[in-house]
Every structure is written in structure tokens, then in C-alpha cells.
Amino acid sequence: MKKLTSGSNRILSIIALLFSACSGGCGILGGGRGPVPPPVPKDAVVAALRERADHFFTVKDGSASLLIRVRTGENTAQQHSLGAGFAFDRLRPGLWLLADKIGQEVFTLLANNDRFWLKLPRSHEIVTGGPEAYYKLPYLIYPYEATLWFGSPEWLGLTLEATQMHVEPEYYTFDVYSAGQLARTVMVDRRTLTVTAIAEYDLLGRLSTEVLMSNYGKADSMDFPFHLTVTRPLQGCSMQLRLGSPKFNQELKAALFEPKDWTDWRHVDLDREPLSSVKGLEAEQ
């Protein structure tokens, strides 16, 4: 995707996706929510985001839903609508995701720091890997990514001296620069001071990951997005996660994010082997 060149133009594609994602009405585009308040200083926006992050540690939901779209050709895509169990520990960081269809387990993802274990019951395989392997499975969410989305404004880079804040009609838009190059754009709703979109750019200036955060609801007196859409345009895939009945800030045992005893399962080390070695993903390739 061609790099957009101004603060206003950069968010056009994000806003278009927001309208598409919220065609049924999700309350993040300002319709019927009253007038937009006057602009506030950058420090006030950052302080509000920091306070919210300081009150969030874990989330767990056994009644979530998952939609994965994978482009398999020039104009075709595979869609997988799945039930899901989801858990995330921001401080570890750790991620657990179980996907099932009609009561049958499709896959379970365990991720702890920069390592993951992907359980594929259909092929009786365990796929493991680290940072390099993640690039071969772009529709996975990485713990460090979720930490970024739900973490403090410092983690997003909003407090960096080079970061620029623009006041848009409905949003504050933060342009985060690293070594003089745009690395990230963050959109914050002016009414609620919640993050609604994050765009990540690669070293060539291309949009690499786009995250939409919507359907905010109250969670332990803080606002939390119940709907996440993660798109990786360069890889042609996207993932939508909708929370159902999440529980927040409960203690999550370390074993939830750690490998189990899978000694009789076929093991594929995706750090050393190609994606084609994974029999359980043949239908996705």
C-alpha cells in the first residue's frame, strides 16, 4: 500500500474501514453522541490514556467469536467464523486463544512473551516458533502487539518528543516518528478519549498492520473495546475478535500461557521449517 503523505490523508483508509466495520452501528463515529468537546492539550489526552491503562491487567472471555479472512488468490478469500475463548495478561505478557466450530476445537494458541505454541487437533500437530515464525502466520495476534494496544501511551510512543498531535473533527491523530520516519498513527476519539485505530508502517513506509478498536463498554469502571479488527494488508489477511462476556483483572495462572505435555504429537518448529510443513494448515495455503 502506498504511504499516505499528510496527517489528514493518512487516516482516510482507516476511516473507510471504520465505516465498513460499523455498518451495523457501533457508536465510534460520533453519530448521535452529542457535540464534540473543545480540543484539549496533548498532555491531557496522554494522561487520560495512561490512567485507563493503569487500571487494566488481564481479560478473559469464554464466549467470544472469531472471524479470520485469508486472501488465497487475486480476488478470492477464505473465511472462517469460529467460537473463541480468549485470555490476555498484559504484564506477562501472555495470550491464550481457543477457536472452535460446532463444539470441535479448531486450534489453540498459547503465547508467552516472544514464543508461541499452536495446537492443531485435526492433524495432531504442535507448531512452535518465535519472532521469525510469527511472520509465517500473519493472522495470529502476538502478545507484544496486544500489550501495545492496551498499554500505556508511553508504549504507543505518544509521549516521544518527535510525536505530533493533530486535531481532527472527531479525533486526535498522533503521528509517531522513529529515526525521522513515520512508524505509527494513533487515532483517539475526542469525546471519550479512547483509542479507536492504530496504523503501523514498515521501514518502506507501507501500511503493515491496521487495528480498529470499537464497541467500547464499561469494564471495572474503565472503557474497554469489545470488538477488535486486525488487518495485515501486505499479507492479505484480517482477524475480527468480538468479546461476549469478558472478565477483567482476575488473576490468570501462568500455566494458561505455557506449553503442555504433547510428547505424542507431531512437532513442527516453524523457526526452522517452512509453513508448508504444517499439515493442519494445508487448507489455508
Q: What is d(CA 65, CA 241) in angstroms, rounded to the nearest whole number?
A: 6
What is the average pLDDT across 55-61?
A: 94
Backbone angles phi, psi at 77, to 5 degrees: -150, 150
| pLDDT the model gives residue 142 | 87
| pLDDT the model gives residue 270 | 95
What is the average pLDDT across 61-71?
A: 92
Q: What is d(CA 272, CA 244) in angstroms, rounded to the nearest whole number?
A: 37
What confidence tens digit (pLDDT) does each residue in 190-209 have? 999 999 999 999 999 999 99
The answer to whether residues 247 and 60 touch, using CB atoms and an 8 Å cutoff, is: yes
DSSP code at position 109: E
| pLDDT the model gives residue 281 | 80
Above pLDDT 70, what percent of the chain? Answer: 87
What is the average pLDDT across 83-107?
A: 94
What is the average pLDDT across 97-111?
A: 94
Q: How confident is the model at residue 216 (pLDDT cuts 50, 70, 90)?
A: very high
| pLDDT the model gives residue 134 | 86
Q: How confident is the model at residue 84 (pLDDT cuts 50, 70, 90)?
A: very high
CA-based nearest residue to 9, from 156, 185, 179, 149:
185
The answer to whether residues 18 and 196 touch, using CB atoms and an 8 Å cutoff, is: yes
The answer to whether residues 190 and 36 touch, using CB atoms and an 8 Å cutoff, is: yes
Backbone angles phi, psi at 189, to 5 degrees: -65, 130
Residue 12 has pLDDT above 90, yes or no: no
CA dihedral 136, 138, 143, 148 (to 10 degrees): 130
Q: What's the topology of domain 40-284?
A: outer membrane lipoprotein receptor (LolB), chain A (2.50.20)
Q: How many CB atoms lie within 10 A of CB 31?
A: 9
> Which pTM value belongs to this model?
0.86
Residue 19 has pLDDT above 70, yes or no: no
Q: How confident is the model at residue 159 (pLDDT cuts 50, 70, 90)?
A: very high
Average pLDDT, the chain: 87
Residue 3 has pLDDT above 60, yes or no: no
What is the average pLDDT across 258-280?
A: 94
Q: How confident is the model at residue 51 (pLDDT cuts 50, 70, 90)?
A: very high
| pLDDT the model gives residue 192 | 94
Q: What is d(CA 149, CA 22) in angstroms, rounded to the nearest whole number?
A: 20
The answer to whether residues 225 and 240 touch, using CB atoms and an 8 Å cutoff, is: no
